[in-house]
Amino acid sequence: MRVRDELRMNVNQQPHMASPYGQPQPGYQGYPQPGYGGGHVPSGYPAQYAPYNGPGSAYQQGPPQGMRGPPTSGAPPVSGAQNYSQFGQGETQNGPPPMGAPPQRPPVSQPYTPAVVNLSGPQPPYDQQFGAPPVSMQQMTNQMASMQVGSTAPSPAGPGYAPPSVSQAPISSAYSPAAPHTFSLTSTAPTQPPPTEAMAQVPPRSYYGAPPPAQQPFPNAAPPFSSTGPTQPQAPPPVSQQSFSQVPPVSQPPFSTAMPPGPTQSYGGPLPPTQPSFPRPPPPTSQLSNFPGGPPPTSTPSQLPGGMLPQPPVSQPSPYHSVPPPNTTGFPPQVGAPPRPPPAGMQGPPMASQGPLMAQANHVPPSQPGMPPSPINAGLSGPPPQPGMQGYPPQQNGAFGQVRGPQPGYAGPYSGQPNYGPPPAAPAPAPAAPKRLDPDSIPSPIQVIEDDKANKGSEPFTTGVRGQAPPLVTTKFQARDQGNASPRYIRCTAYNVPCNADMAKQSQVPLAAVIKPLATLPPDESPPYLVDHGESGPIRCNRCKAYMCPYMQFIEGGRRFQCGFCSCVTEVPPHYFQHLDHTGKRVDCYDRPELSMGSYEFMATVDYCKNNKIPQPPAFIFLIDVSYNAVKNGMVGIVCQELKTLLDYLPRQNPDVDSNIRVGFVTYNKVLHFYNVKASLAQPQMMVVSDVADMFVPLLDGFLVNVSESRMVIESLLDQIPEMFADTRETETVFGPVIQAGLEALKAADCAGKLFVFHSSLPIAEAPGKLKNREDKKLVGTDKEKSLFQPQVSFYNTLAKECVAQGCCVDLFIFPNQYVDVATLGVVPTSTGGSIYKYTYFQSSTDQERFLNDLRRDVQKPMGFDAVMRVRTSTGIRATDFFGSFYMSNTTDVELAGLDCDKTVTVEFRHDDKLSEETGALMQCAVLYTSCNGQRRLRIHNMAVNCCSQLADLYRNCETDTIINFFVKYAYRSVLSSPTKNVRDSLVNQCAQILACYRKNCASPSSAGQLILPECMKLLPVYLNCVLKSDVLQPGADVSLDDRAYLRQLVSAMDVAESHVFFYPRLLPLQQLDVESMSLPVAVRDSEERLSRGGVYLLENGLNIFLWVGANAQQELLQNIFGTTAFSQIDPGMTSLPALDNPFSKRLKEIIESVRAQRSRYMKLMVVKQEDKLELIFKHFLVEDKSNNGGASYVDFLCHMHKEIRQLLS
Amino acid sequence: MATYQEFIQQNEDRDGIRCSWNLWPSSRLEATRLVVPVSCLYTPLKERPDLPPVQYEPVLCSRANCKAVLNPLCQVDFRAKIWACNFCFQRNSFPPSYAGISEVNQPAELMPQFSTIEYIVQRGPPTPLIFLYVVDTCLEEEDLQALKESLQMSLSLLPPNALVGLITFGRMVQVHELSCEGIAKSFVFRGTKELSPKQIQEMLGLMKPATSGQQGKPLAPHDAAASCRFLQPVQAVDMNLTDLLGELQRDPWPVPQGKRPLRSTGIALSIAIGLLEGTFPNTGARVMLFTGGPPTQGPGMVVGDELKTPIRSWHDIQKDNARHLKKATKYYETLSNRAAVNGHSVDIYACALDQTGLLEMKCLANLTGGHIVMGDSFNTSLFKQTFQRVFSKDYNGEFRMAFGGTLEVKTSRELKVSGAIGPCVSLNSKGPCVSDNEMGVGGTCQWKICSLTPATTLAMYFEVVNQHNAPVPQGGRGAVQFVTQYQHSNTQRRIRVTTIARNWADAQSQIQHIESSFDQEASAVLMARLGVFRAESEEGPDVLRWLDRQLIRLCQKFGQFSKDDPNSFKLSESLSLYPQFMFHLRRSPFLQVFNNSPDESSYYRHHFVRQDLTQSLIMIQPILYSYSFYGPPEPVLLDSSSILPDRILLMDTFFQLVIFHGETIAQWRKAGYQEMPEYENFKQLLQAPLDDAQEILQTRFPMPRYVDTEHGGSQARFLLSKVNPSQTHNNLYAWGQESGAPILTDDVSLQVFMDHLKKLAVSSSA
């Protein structure tokens, strides 16, 4: 019953469920990895454990017992192996999958299917998996069980997975070490497992023996998610969702059943093998289930038992055993572990950590509950499913199969979650115990994304309703402007703003808006209407100068209006007067965009122009480095060749008319060459300026020309530039003077414009802005690290200021072969609204396409010049901080020398007074800019959000992606002033506070050991973890300072969609590609264990596209893609796929093209073969896994978060 | 005895020398009492078609501080093959190659007719001539076009192997690279920033990394790779450069209302000089500046770009109200000295209606031997033909220009050299023959003359060493040797040696001889040069007073008169014209700034201190020819009485050629009689002065302003300002004559001047 309830609950939350499913699927893919992971898994665990170790120890005690039991199962594992055989496959696959995906999927899929089914209803894609879920709770539990089993299996897997288990074993000894190993081994597998382990961490250690179980626990953890589903039921729907732990409770029953058994079993099995990883995972799961079941002290064990329990239910003991290892591996990583931790009173802390995972799971739970469990289940059931898994490994089917098996387990997992709940009560493990272990998986981004697609993608999003969160950025939807700006222009972190500062402070939820003022809209949405208020200019509030907008209240029969921002009453000018209707609206309300729309444009009058002069049309100046390196790597030739055609596509207002943007050309090495390309000349003339110390423009007339008039001369010039410098020996370059030159040219021409600088090397020639090579890796990680992000000379800051004053936007294309100090070179671009494009080790053969596409887009994209942005807000809040590529000379005006359609400004708001729930909070973003044909315009975006006096409302209406966007920008700016470690810590701390506040104020009372996440924020931990281990905040040894500075600057102007995919890359399983359908296959989670050896995956993060080819990829697939069936014949150096005459190849190319089209930068395709050297790079993007540079796996981190939260709560 | 006349003429023809005195007083005191110093005008490169250069090295005195060249005045012991230096009396043996000499087989330098001799010597590899055009682009379209054509035309006049370079300037300065194919390439410099020579060379890429470390020494001059980009043989880049000049645009920077165009002349010159300095030091080179207005920005700026602030006038200068004057002058002086050190000369071709800053820039040409040409527009024949004439060739088909000259003066012991006035700079070579008493550019016995033409004439001033109590023994001869080393336009290095000797005379016993040896023409010019030299640094009135005093003293010394009886005053023939020269000199634009702009004054003075005696005299006292039906053309007095209605006057002031038609002639001409066959003679009369003018125009450098005017015409002022105002509105009716034309002036006439002179000369109180 409960299960059903939970399921229902889940169902309610289905969307989430869906996501879990999604996860499961990944899981399957993961499984393939698991195989690999096997080895990895263990390692993975250790790693995770390592972090958790502290807690782990505590857990260990508990878990160990139980765990150890399982360990013994170690033997079982063997059997498990068999059982796992399914898993085994799974393992093989599972190995990886177990870690993260497997649990979810396998278990979930099938088990969930049932449950899911319900849930799945909404989510077709998942159906399959869900298909299983329908079995839902039971299945879930089963799955959970299976999961646990799986977990146990993992340990067994150890055998089967030999490596994993082994690794686990070792790990068990030393988690930390193990962890690393695992990562190294098969990062995927390990990583996945690790997470779970992480969850379980605490337990793990104790459990090491138990670890395997722990893994199971993880599965449990997964369940937790499912549990979340339950929680939802329990807790306020939203809350409940949020708090997995709570959910778990609900689910707990199932979980507990499933879980406990699982754990125990798993423990038995797992313990030995998994100890490292498993133990921990188990703990979580076990904790959940076990703990509940187990005695308080042994809570861990109990948990394990709990975990075991699920397993038992699954009756997969044997499978478990065998399975456990694998599962553990797989599962542990998954939520399973997390959930358990809480349960484990002992493991309490770890559990807690697991809890968090659970919590995530909880998020998942709603829809995913099934899923998560399924994972766990999968893990548990894993064994059973394994077969399926194997078959499916890549696909969900397998998962389903597994799921079914697991289903029982799932119950477990769920219980697990409940357990988590209990765990907090851990001491009162009993409660936990009573509740089922929840093998649910941790919240799955994929599930969330898919749910959102399913729920919100079908109907247009209308902006008329205040306080309504828009669809996620990953969801394709149509926006209708009904008075508020479309989410394409503005996204807020919260759509219900706390009424007062205290609430805001308490919640710690950042109040911010991510504004993309000139965003391009899909073709089915109309661009902002142009409003002309005549010679007197736009009508504005007298006091705060807000522009006419729908928030202006007309009074006195329409003769005056009251400002919605400052409440000041202003006379309506006679020419603007209109009568009001009976509702107080102006009669012409719907005829006037400024009265009915959220976004529109005003024609600005001469009063809005610099120096009260109508601006000149802007100019583009191309400044090309012609030093030896630039010539040699082909850049010069390519640029010149491309410009010949590109100049026909300069931005223009009216497509029928030639652009009136003028162009100019400069080349340089350590001196500058200007070109006179006046139309009347037969040949261009070169003017060399070698006085770089005091830059000036040598000519005016003839430098900036109209393309159509001077075409012949320009072409001649572009033909000759590469020849002229073909034999150059000059290696030194300048940089400061180059920008100065462009700036001076614009000054001389008295216009705004954009510089395109193509630069190759560190500017060491004697000139202003000369730089030293200061690359010093030894500083990384020290307090001085921040200096590496700061410009080494102040020259560029001053220069940037001058550029902004002139409206000179600088775009920088760099082609470095070594350190070029991007941190310093980038100062001007990032202060002027420009972009940096970096092509390290540029080779024309491989990078030309990327560069050219970037260049084309950069030149063609719509943009405004010499812009000023001002954000006005209603009384009570105030825009206090701004992030992005711009310059501010005072505290309110964002000055953008250039503003293109990709540039985003993130604005943080703070209270300076109380807000009223009635009026809500209003903001108006006004951007004054010069259009590409020299018109001065004002673009207005209005946004109204609700105000709330209940924290729950805040948590119910926020957007994690946007919050992350804000956090990233905040953190990336903080690295300029603080050591990265502090930045990371404060990020974790703030998130913990957010979640703790939720837990404290919004979640229904439950054990402190439960991790309860707000539904809207359940992905916060996973995304935050991605941020924390990003190259900027936690670099690996192979990440150059330039790359970090580049990424830092890049991210600072990203919109939400870009930052989302950047931090959580999209991983598409191509083997599931339906050639007939227009839709893309459902993505899988970014974890190695989700990768199937037999599959081919496409990964994109906005900067790169990887095509990962599994070592055992189906020959048909290879044939379709590469035209060869031999894995070994695939050339990893290829940058584009062969054009083959088969539907698959065509469709794949289409997909790649469409993915590229979505991003502002062209993504170079890299083919990564499994077990190839390049795979290391690829693995870097599997962000749920533990990373090489010490970044935690998802599961580990979730555990850690949980711990933090618990600390805050206690 | 027409002897002195003949002697003077003969000496001038042979040696290019005109001495103020052809007998020299034997003691310093006596020399001082002669008023006009012992001095001479020397034309180092006087054309001597009859003097073939010898192809060997001169024989030098072996004494280290003498090094005089073997000359006809030396005593030679043909048997011992020994010669005694006539300056230091060192006995030197002849070099081996002279083994065959004897009384009947003398080398040329020993023959009296070869007191001036030219040697062709081998000194390093020949270096081609260098012509660096520095062109202002802030011109009216029409002017620029004309200038471009002139420049293009000039390419065909240059020696084919000459190196040519192009710098253009306006708001920016562009150094054009001539070697590049395809895209025309130029280096651009900001017009406001002063750069050190080293910076300039670095920025032009002329510094070789290897050599740049050598203590800032200039680069090896023959670094072809580095320099060839900017200086190319004419024959190689003829087409290129022609195209480049053809595409030359007006300065593209907009000139706002009420502003002058920004003209970076200062920087352009600094870069031109820096470029040559870095690439071809000590090589003959001409920087040719073509400018159409004053420098308005950067160092060397003469006037701001605000049109409302006019360029400085003499009035401003006297009131010390010329803001930029001192700074600019100093700047250009520094540049000039740099150029001079390296043997590069700077020409200034300034064509504008307003002043162009010649006052500030004159030193560029003055110190380096460059030309200054001033005109109203580049689109005038004055400029075009003058410019063309720069490249005129002599009877041998060689260019009438020489480069990198150094003039060394050696004197016998009784004399020391006080200084030189002319287009030269001191080389600061202290020798035994250098006087402490400086006149002109002194303190040295060597001068650098960066550019020479056959007309270039220097005034050299000497001092007699011997004290009154130890005069030079009678019967001896004082000798002076001028050794001029230079680079001939055909790139040969040559040495011209002129050795002169004059007898010593006791001023007390032989004053009549000394008086009759007085060369009043040369003396007038030599004194005028001293006056002009002083005028450069002193107030105008002071100079005039000094001149007057000198004249009075001279008259007192040589005049025959009874005390306090002006009417008794008489001057001998050898001095009779001298006061008249002084009268016209006082009125000349060289000393009078009234009615002349500072630029014009500088221009006139520039030419005055370099032209030979004949031209200088024309400048001091213009020549007036009268054409009438009553006889052949005749020279007439430069007097207002010569202006008659039925005459055509042709006046040559050197700078102007004025053809003035008398009132009646003008009426006839207007009536068109010359068109009628029966008045063919009238037509011929009209034509005669034109033909004569053409003749003068053909040879004169720079081309004079050619004025064809008539009675009452506005341009008649050129004539009226020059003639002696014997008839003015004040005395017209008193004279009661009908001839001549009254001049509306308060200037004193020659008559009044002479009256005063006599009065003062005979005054016992003076």
| ipTM for the assembly | 0.85
pLDDT of residue A140: 37
Amino acid code (one letter) for A145: A
Q: Which residue of B has its CA nearest to A673?
A: B187
Nearest to A702 among B174, B205, B252 (CB): B252
Alpha carbon distance A604, A1058 (integer Å): 32
**Average pLDDT taken over every residue of chain A:** 70
Alpha carbon distance A680, B83 (integer Å): 73
Q: How far is B202 from chain A (nearest CA, A)?
A: 8
pLDDT of residue B593: 87
pLDDT of residue A64: 36
Strand ranges (DSSP E) for B43-129? 75-77, 82-84, 91-93, 116-121
Q: Do B188 and A694 touch (CB under 8 A)?
A: no
Q: Do B252 and A700 touch (CB under 8 A)?
A: yes
Alpha carbon distance A1051, A1009 (integer Å): 36
**Cβ neighbours of A723 in B, within 8 Å:** 182
Mean pLDDT of each 10-residue bin along chain B, 766 residues long: 81 92 91 93 91 90 90 90 90 90 88 91 84 94 94 90 92 86 85 88 72 41 57 88 89 89 94 90 90 93 92 91 92 94 93 93 93 93 91 87 92 93 92 91 93 93 90 86 92 92 88 91 95 89 92 91 89 91 92 90 93 93 92 90 90 93 92 90 92 90 90 89 82 55 80 90 78
Stronger pLDDT, B379 or A290, i.e. the higher one: B379
**Cβ neighbours of A685 in B, within 8 Å:** 183-186, 247
A687 shares contact with chain B (CB less than 8 Å):
yes
- Which residues of chain B have a Cβ shorter than 8 Å from any chain A Cβ? 172, 174, 177, 180, 182-190, 193, 195, 199, 202-205, 247, 249, 252-254
pLDDT of residue B208: 59
Alpha carbon distance A279, A417 (integer Å): 17
Q: Which residue of A has its CA nearest to B188?
A: A689
User: Which residues 6+ apart lie within 8 Å of A400 measured at CB?
Assistant: A109, A110, A113, A128, A129, A131, A132, A385, A388, A392
Q: How far is B276 from chain A (nearest CA, A)?
A: 18
pLDDT of residue A230: 36
Using an 8 Å Cβ cutoff, are A911 and A905 in contact? Answer: no
Q: Which of A191, A187, A230, A208 is nearest to A339 (CA)?
A: A230
Q: Do B203 and A691 touch (CB under 8 A)?
A: yes
pLDDT of residue B180: 67
Q: How far is B297 from chain A (nearest CA, A)?
A: 15
Using an 8 Å Cβ cutoff, are A113 and A404 in contact? Answer: yes
**Cβ neighbours of A700 in B, within 8 Å:** 252-254
Q: Do A686 and B205 touch (CB under 8 A)?
A: no
Q: How far is A855 from chain B (nearest CA, A)?
A: 26
Alpha carbon distance B722, B660 (integer Å): 13
Stronger pLDDT, B706 or A32, i.e. the higher one: B706
Using an 8 Å Cβ cutoff, are A681 and A606 in contact? Answer: no
Q: How far is A36 from chain B (nearest CA, A)?
A: 60
Predicted confidence (pLDDT) per residue in A410-444, tens digit: 333 333 333 333 333 333 333 333 333 343 567 88
Q: Do B253 and A688 touch (CB under 8 A)?
A: no
Predicted confidence (pLDDT) per residue in A1067-1086, tens digit: 999 888 888 888 888 898 88
Stronger pLDDT, A44 or B372, i.e. the higher one: B372
Alpha carbon distance A135, A6 (integer Å): 12
Tracing tokens 């030679």 back to the chain, one arrives at B76
- The tokens describing B506, both together, are 């006791």
> Between β-strands B372-375 and B344-351, what pairing exists: parallel, antiparallel or unpaired?
parallel
Q: Look at phi and psi of residue B672 and say left if phi exceeds 0, alpha if psi is from -120 to 50, else beta.
A: left
Predicted confidence (pLDDT) per residue in A1176-1206, tens digit: 888 889 988 888 778 888 888 888 888 888 8
Nearest to B187 among A681, A690, A700 (CB): A690
Query: pLDDT band for position A853 (50/70/90)?
Result: very high
Q: Do B182 and A724 touch (CB under 8 A)?
A: yes
Q: How far is B349 from chain A (nearest CA, A)?
A: 25
Asked whether the predicted pLDDT for residue A265 surpasses 70, the reply is no
A700 shares contact with chain B (CB less than 8 Å):
yes
A681 shares contact with chain B (CB less than 8 Å):
yes
Q: Do A686 and B183 touch (CB under 8 A)?
A: yes
| Substitution target from A666, A680, A688, A725 for chain B, most B beta carbons within 10 A | A688
Q: Which of A346, A362, A347, A348 is nearest to A417 (CA)?
A: A362
Q: b vs e for B233-254, b when ≥16 Cβ sit within 10 Å of the residue's Cβ?
A: bbebbbebbbebbebbbbbbbe
Alpha carbon distance B615, B620 (integer Å): 9
Q: Do B174 and A687 touch (CB under 8 A)?
A: yes
Q: Which residue of B has its CA nearest to A685?
A: B184
Alpha carbon distance A741, A754 (integer Å): 12
Strand ranges (DSSP E) for B415-490? 415-421, 425-426, 446-452, 458-464, 477-488
Query: pLDDT band for position A349 (50/70/90)?
Result: very low
- The tokens describing B295, both together, are 């420098």
Query: pLDDT band for position A148 (50/70/90)?
Result: very low
Query: Is the whole model's pTM more than 0.80, yes or no?
Result: no
Nearest to B203 among A681, A690, A702 (CB): A690
A699 shares contact with chain B (CB less than 8 Å):
yes
Using an 8 Å Cβ cutoff, are A390 and A328 in contact? Answer: no
Q: Do A688 and B186 touch (CB under 8 A)?
A: yes
Q: Do A674 and B252 touch (CB under 8 A)?
A: no
**Cβ neighbours of B182 in A, within 8 Å:** 683, 720, 723-724
Amino acid code (one letter) for A928: L
Stronger pLDDT, A724 or B764, i.e. the higher one: A724
Cis? peptide before A193, omega within 30° of 0? no
Q: b vs e for B313-341, b when ≥16 Cβ sit within 10 Å of the residue's Cβ?
A: bbeeeeeeebebbeebbebbbebbbbbbb
Asked whether the predicted pLDDT for residue A314 surpasses 50, the reply is no
Q: How far is B275 from chain A (nearest CA, A)?
A: 14
Q: Do B172 and A694 touch (CB under 8 A)?
A: no
Predicted confidence (pLDDT) per residue in A1089-1132, tens digit: 888 888 899 999 999 899 999 988 888 888 888 888 888 888 88
Predicted confidence (pLDDT) per residue in A91-139, tens digit: 333 333 333 333 333 333 333 333 333 333 333 333 333 333 333 333 3
Asked whether the predicted pLDDT for residue A736 surpasses 90, the reply is yes
Q: Do A698 and B247 touch (CB under 8 A)?
A: no
Q: Do B186 and A683 touch (CB under 8 A)?
A: no
Q: Do B187 and A689 touch (CB under 8 A)?
A: yes
DSSP-assigned letters across all residues of A61-123: HHHIIIIIHHHHTTHHHHHHHHHHHHHHHHHHTBTHHHHSHHHIIIIIIIIIHHHHHHHHTT-
Q: Do A699 and B188 touch (CB under 8 A)?
A: yes
Can you tell me the mean pLDDT for A326-334?
37
Q: Do A724 and B183 touch (CB under 8 A)?
A: yes
Nearest to A690 among B182, B193, B204 (CB): B204
Cα dist from B283 to A476, A814, B85, B488, B489, whole Å: 79, 47, 32, 11, 12
pLDDT of residue A1175: 87
**Cβ neighbours of A701 in B, within 8 Å:** 249, 252-253
Nearest 5 degrees, angle CA A677-CA A678-CA A683?
55
Can you tell me the mean pLDDT for A475-502?
92
**Cβ neighbours of A688 in B, within 8 Å:** 177, 185-188
A712 shares contact with chain B (CB less than 8 Å):
no
A702 shares contact with chain B (CB less than 8 Å):
yes
Can you tell me the mean pLDDT for A468-475?
90
Beta bridge partners of A19: A447
Alpha carbon distance B10, B16 (integer Å): 9
Can you tell me the mean pLDDT for A496-503?
91
User: Which residues 6+ apart lie within 8 Å of B379 measured at CB?
Assistant: B142, B143, B145, B146
Tracing tokens 């055998």 back to the chain, one arrives at A159
Helix (H) or strand (E) holding A755: strand A753-759
Q: Do B203 and A671 touch (CB under 8 A)?
A: yes
- The tokens describing A351, both together, are 């559990």
| Substitution target from B186, B192, B202 for chain A, most A beta carbons within 10 A | B186
| Substitution target from A675, A680, A686 for chain B, most B beta carbons within 10 A | A686
Query: pLDDT band for position A408 (50/70/90)?
Result: very low
Can you tell me the mean pLDDT for A848-852?
92
Q: Do B186 and A686 touch (CB under 8 A)?
A: yes
Chains A and B form CB pairs within 8 A to the count of 71
